[in-house]
Amino acid sequence: MGMLSRKDKKTSDSSSSSSSSTSPCANFRAAYHNCFNRWYSEKFVKGQWEKEECISEWQKYKACLSEHLDDKHLSRFLEAEKSVVDHCGQSR
């Protein structure tokens, strides 16, 4: 996915002026999002959703986030595995 390869640099550049707290995770984030985007377009939309992928990318990214995500409103979503479903359920 060439279109995403320059993202890391760009992200850290723009966030240095933005009081961002998760930019140390930019590499993990890019790795996970690249993997997820590929899985979504190549597998999920074709009905191959039995198996989760990008698990190791996700674990590394999530570990980094839980270390650097200061905002308590945001970390609430990170910690509560279950809240994803609940939150979406409410918004339907």
Partner 1 sequence: MVKAYKQEYTYRHPWERVTSASWRKFADPENKRTLSHILEVDTLNHKLDSNSGKLYTTRAITIHAPGPWFVRKIIGQDICHCVESTVVDGHSRSMQLTTRNISLQKFIEVQEKIRYDPHPDNPESWTLCRQETSIQIKPLSALASMAEKVEQRCAERFVQNSAKGREVMERICKYLEAESGGISL
Question: Which residues would be at the binding site for partner 1 (CB under 8 A)?
Answer: 3-4, 6-7, 10-11, 14-15, 18-20, 22-23, 25, 29, 32-33, 36-37, 40-42, 44-47, 49-52, 58, 61, 65, 69, 71, 73-74, 77-78, 80-81, 83-85, 87-88, 91-92
Q: How far apart are CA 66 and CA 14, in angstroms?
A: 22
CB 20, min distance to partner 1, A: 6
CB 18, min distance to partner 1, A: 5
DSSP 25: G
Nearest residue (CB) to partner 1, 40 versus 56: 40
Instruction: Report phi then psi at 14, rounded to 5.
Output: -70, -25
Nearest residue (CB) to partner 1, 7 versus 27: 7
DSSP 50: S
Give the C-alpha distances (Å, rounded to integers) separating 25 from 18, 42, 83. Answer: 15, 26, 23
